[in-house]
Amino acid sequence: MDRRRLLGPLNTVIPNIGISSEINGSKSTPQTGISSSSSSNKNDIENFFLKTGIIENANGSAYLEVGNNVIEVSVFGPRPIRGSFIDRASFSVECKFLPYISQPGDELFNTNNQFNNSNSNTNANGRTGLTTIEHKISSYVETALLPSIILEKYPKSTFDVFVTIVATETPTYNSNEKLMRLTNWIVNCASVALVDANVEVKDIVTSGIVKSNKSGDIIIDPRGQIEDEQNEQDEQDDQNEENVLGVASFMNLNNDQLVGIWVEGGDIDQDLVTKVINGCNDMSKKIRANINSFLIDSLQ
């Protein structure tokens, strides 16, 4: 029993989210997930909204909306650490969904707190620690951002990045794709938060996401539904499983150094990985250009 949080009477049951008793059956989910820009050229990058400096008690912060994803990143640091002398900074990332949000892929990872998991009768508000999915995102973001930070300039201190996912897209498409898309944007948002915190970095890390279908075509910044529709037109078999998804992060001005890569999907060979990396690099450059002009504007 958790004595530190008010989680209701002990015999409280969390009801399952059932079906709707409406005559026409299932609840009409609002058609979301497609932004206005998605109708244009498919290699365009979805519009995103970015704002910095909204959190007053953090050293730096950034807020990003893309599609229905809402991400908030706060950077705390440099803060002191004690103990033995450490000549450079320590860096950590913690990524958390607000407790009511269904996490992409939780049906696979069987996260304990989820409402659609029938054997969980716990209040999501009482969750301690990170779920598998949050761990996965946290460690990717940490890996991608770590090489960019000039840790030697910050002895005896720590940087802590806290990512809060305020909203996600409704799970109308492949959860893996949703998860990777989210991760991709978290990396971009966290980089901007680091800049806002005046943390000295070698370069701003930006990342991109691509999807490759069976025939090997690379689709930059896939947005679920559009591609799925196309798939249905092609053939109706399990093409989704044959798709290869890739997220890769770069320091574009530092010789395009690759700082993080995450590829998932069917048959992956070297050729495809190269294609994926190049596609992600293209996207990361476009995002970088946007972020650059945003930052310069913010100063003037």
Q: How far does CA 166 lie from the centroid of its chain?
A: 11
- Least separation in angstroms between residue 44's CB and other proteins is 23
**Owner of token pair 């607000």:** 98
Q: Which residues contact 88 (CB under 8 A, 6 or more apart)?
A: 151, 152, 154, 155
- Least separation in angstroms between residue 183's CB and other proteins is 13
Give backbone dihedrals phi and psi of 62, rounded to 5 degrees, phi first.
-145, 150
Comparing CB distances to other proteins, the nearer of 99 and 216 is 99
**What CA–CA distance (Å, rounded) separates 185 from 64?**
8
Comparing CB distances to other proteins, the nearer of 194 and 248 is 194
- How far is the CA of 10 from the CAs of 1, 2, 41, 111, 127, in angstroms? 8, 10, 54, 21, 16
Comparing CB distances to other proteins, the nearer of 272 and 287 is 287
Are 183 and 247 contacting, i.e. CB atoms less than 8 angstroms apart? Answer: yes
Comparing CB distances to other proteins, the nearer of 117 and 239 is 117
- Least separation in angstroms between residue 88's CB and other proteins is 7
Are 287 and 210 contacting, i.e. CB atoms less than 8 angstroms apart? Answer: no
- Least separation in angstroms between residue 10's CB and other proteins is 9
Comparing CB distances to other proteins, the nearer of 18 and 236 is 18
- Least separation in angstroms between residue 49's CB and other proteins is 15
